[in-house]
Amino acid sequence: MRHVVIVGAGNAALCAAIAAAEAGARVTILERAPETARGGNSAFTGGCFRTVYDGVEDIARLVPDLTEEERDGSDFGRYDAEKFYLDLCELSGYRADPLLIDILVQQSLPTLSWMRDQGVRFLPAYGRQSFKVDGRNIFWGGLTVETAGGGVGLVDALFRRAEALGVTIRYDHKVEQLIGNRHRIEGVVVNGEPLHADAVVLASGGYHANSEWRVRTLGQGWDLAKVRGSRYNTGNVIQAAFAIGARSHGNWSGCHSVFFDAGAEDFGNIAMLNQQKNYFTLGIVVNRNGERFFDEGSDFRNYIYSKMGAAILRQPGGTGWQLFDAQSIPILPDEYRVPRAARFESDTLEGLAAKLEGIDRDAMLRTIADFNAAVDDGMPFNPAVKDGRGTRGLVINKSNWARALREPPFVAYEVTCGITLTYGGLAIDEQARVQSEEGEAIAGLYAAGELVGGLYYDRYPGGAGLTSGAVFGRIAGEQAAIG
C-alpha cells in the first residue's frame, strides 16, 4: 500500500487526504498547528465556493434540503463555464494559467458534488450573495453556495470524513524540509525527524502570515497589514520546495487583501470572524484627508474587494472610513454588525465627523456635499444589478449604487488592510505534480491550494480559493495514491 504524506490540514489538504484514502493509499496528514487551531485559513472562511451551475436544478443537487419556498423565493440565475473562465481571465489581466483555470472551471461542479457526497453540507449564500428585490432573493455575483457552519463547518465535515477513512492526523507537526531532489521526492523532515513517503502532497497555504516575505514580495508597508486568517501560513514549505529545485510561479507581487476593521487583532481570531468590510459598494470611502480615492461602485463586490486592502494601505496612515446613511444600513450584511467593530454613529454628518480621529473633518464634509450633489437621481437604485445609478462631474465618480448620504443616522466604519492570501507559489501541471525549474514534473511531489501559483493575478473572483483547493486537492490526492 502506498504511503501518501499530506502537508497541512486545511481544505486542500483534507480533500487530498480523502481522495488518496478513497484510492487505497495509507495517508498521514502533518499539520504544524495544534489541534485547537486546526483547519488553516479554510477554517476562517465564510465557506463560499464559486462553481459553475445551470440554474436552480444544479443548486438543488448541491443543496438537497432546498425547500419549495426557497426555490420560489429565489432567483439563483446561472453561472456557466464560459463566464467563470472569462472572470478568471479578466480579473487576472489574461495572465492566469489557461490549463489550470480550465481544470478549475470544468471540475468545479463535479468536485462540489463529490464533497457533498463526503458529507459537506452546502446552502444558498443568502446573507452575502443575494439582495431582496421585490420580495425575491436575487443572486448577483456567480457565488451562490456556502457551507453550513462556514469555514469551521467545512473543515469539521472534511476532518470527520478523513478520520472515518482511517487517515492519520498529526498535529503540532511542522514540516521543515523535503527529502529528495529535483527529480524525485521520497519524504519529508518533520519536527527534525525524517518520514518516508511514496508521495508527498504540499497543501500548506501561502505566506501571508510572514511579514518579512510580504515586504520583500509585495512591497513597502505590507508588514503593517493585519492577517485575517491563519498565523501558520508562513511559506516555509514553499521555501523547502524551492530548496530541492521547484519552480516559482504566479503573481509574487500580488495578494488578496480587503478592507478590515482597524481595531482588529494582528492575526485572525476564530472567535472574532467577519471583521472584513466588503460592502463599500453601498456607501462611500474616505481617507484621512477626507477624500474619496476610488470608484466604490465600479463593479460587484466579488470582483473588486480583493484589491481594497492594497488600496487603503496606500492611503495616508493606511486607514480610512466607510460611510453609510440610514438607506444603506438595513441592507449591510452581518459583517457590519459584529461586536467590537470600529463603528461610529451620529444623527448629523458634522457629529459623525467629530467622532473620527485623525480625519480632516472639513474636507470630509465637503467631499460628502460634493458627492451628494453629483448623484444622478434619475436611475432607480438596485443592488442586485449594476444599476448605472452613478455620480456625474466628480474627479472620481461612483459608477453604480450611488445614493446621497442624507438620511440619519449616519455611520462610519474605520478600516485598514487585512491580508487574506498570497498569489505567488509553486508551478503544477494538470495532475497537480510540482514542476521543477527545468520544467519537468518532480516525481512523488504534488501541490494544491493557496501555495499553487498562476491562478490569480491582480484581482480574484470571490470563492475561487476554496474551489481551487478542493479541485486540485482531490486531483493531487488521487494522483499521489496511484503514483
Ligand X SMILES: Cc1cc2nc3c(=O)[nH]c(=O)nc-3n(C[C@H](O)[C@H](O)[C@H](O)COP(=O)(O)OP(=O)(O)OC[C@H]3O[C@@H](n4cnc5c(N)ncnc54)[C@H](O)[C@@H]3O)c2cc1C
245 vs 425, beta carbon nearer ligand X: 425
Cis peptide before 110 (omega within 30 of 0): no
Q: Is 421 in the site for ligand X (CB under 6 A)?
A: yes
Beta carbons of 26 and 50 less than 8 angstroms apart: no
> Which range, of 133-141, 231-239, 398-406, 429-437, touches ligand X by CB under 6 A?
231-239
> Which range, of 6-14, 192-200, 299-307, 378-386, touches ligand X by CB under 6 A?
6-14
The three cell numbers locating residue 51: 462553481
6 vs 138, beta carbon nearer ligand X: 6
The three cell numbers locating residue 402: 450611488
Residue of 236, 251, 315, 416 that binds ligand X (CB under 6 A): 236
332 vs 451, beta carbon nearer ligand X: 451
Beta bridge partners of 187: 179, 196
Smallest distance from the beta carbon of 268 to ligand X, in angstroms? 6
Smallest distance from the beta carbon of 206 to ligand X, in angstroms? 7
Number of H helices, E strands in the chain: 15, 23
81 vs 272, beta carbon nearer ligand X: 272
Rounded Cα–Cα distance for residues 128 and 305 (Å): 13
Smallest distance from the beta carbon of 284 to ligand X, in angstroms? 24
52 vs 286, beta carbon nearer ligand X: 52
174 vs 403, beta carbon nearer ligand X: 174
232 vs 344, beta carbon nearer ligand X: 232
Q: Which of residues 172-211 bind ligand X (CB under 6 A)?
A: 174-175, 203-205
Q: Which of residues 64-103 bind ligand X (CB under 6 A)?
A: none
Q: Is 232 in the site for ligand X (CB under 6 A)?
A: yes
Phi-psi region of 277 (alpha: psi -120 to 50; beta: other; left: phi over 0): beta
Q: Which residues of 245-260 are buried (b: 16+ CB within 10 A; e: fewer)?
A: bbbebbbbebbbbbbb
Q: Which residue has the cell 487505497?
A: 24
Smallest distance from the beta carbon of 193 to ligand X, in angstroms? 13
Q: Which of residues 7-46 bind ligand X (CB under 6 A)?
A: 7-13, 30-33, 40-42, 44-46
Rounded Cα–Cα distance for residues 112 and 109 (Å): 5
How many chain residues touch ligand X (CB under 6 A)?
Answer: 41
The three cell numbers locating residue 315: 492611503
Smallest distance from the beta carbon of 273 to ligand X, in angstroms? 7
Q: Which of residues 238-257 bind ligand X (CB under 6 A)?
A: none
Residue of 237, 241, 286, 445 that binds ligand X (CB under 6 A): 237
Smallest distance from the beta carbon of 289 to ligand X, in angstroms? 29
Quote the radius of gyration of the chain (alpha carbons, Å): 23
Amino acid symbol at 446: Y
207 vs 410, beta carbon nearer ligand X: 207
Smallest distance from the beta carbon of 258 to ligand X, in angstroms? 9
Which residue in 183, 195, 312 sits closest to 260, CA to CA? 312
Q: Which of residues 443-472 bind ligand X (CB under 6 A)?
A: 449-450, 463-466, 469
Q: Is 415 in the site for ligand X (CB under 6 A)?
A: no
364 vs 480, beta carbon nearer ligand X: 480
Say how far residue 405 (Cα) sits from the centre of its chain: 30
DSSP designation for 252: T
Beta carbons of 231 and 34 less than 8 angstroms apart: no
Smallest distance from the beta carbon of 19 to ligand X, in angstroms? 14
Beta carbons of 464 and 434 less than 8 angstroms apart: no
Which residue in 378, 333, 330, 370 sits closest to 349, CA to CA? 370
> Which range, of 5-13, 210-218, 351-359, 408-416, touches ligand X by CB under 6 A?
5-13
N-terminal to C-terminal alpha carbon distance within the chain: 11
∠ CA 210-261-404, nearest 5°, is: 135
DSSP designation for 407: S
Q: Which residue has the cell 464560459?
A: 82
List contacts with ligand X (CB under 6 A).
7-13, 30-33, 40-42, 44-48, 174-175, 203-205, 228-230, 232-233, 236-237, 268, 420-421, 449-450, 463-466, 469
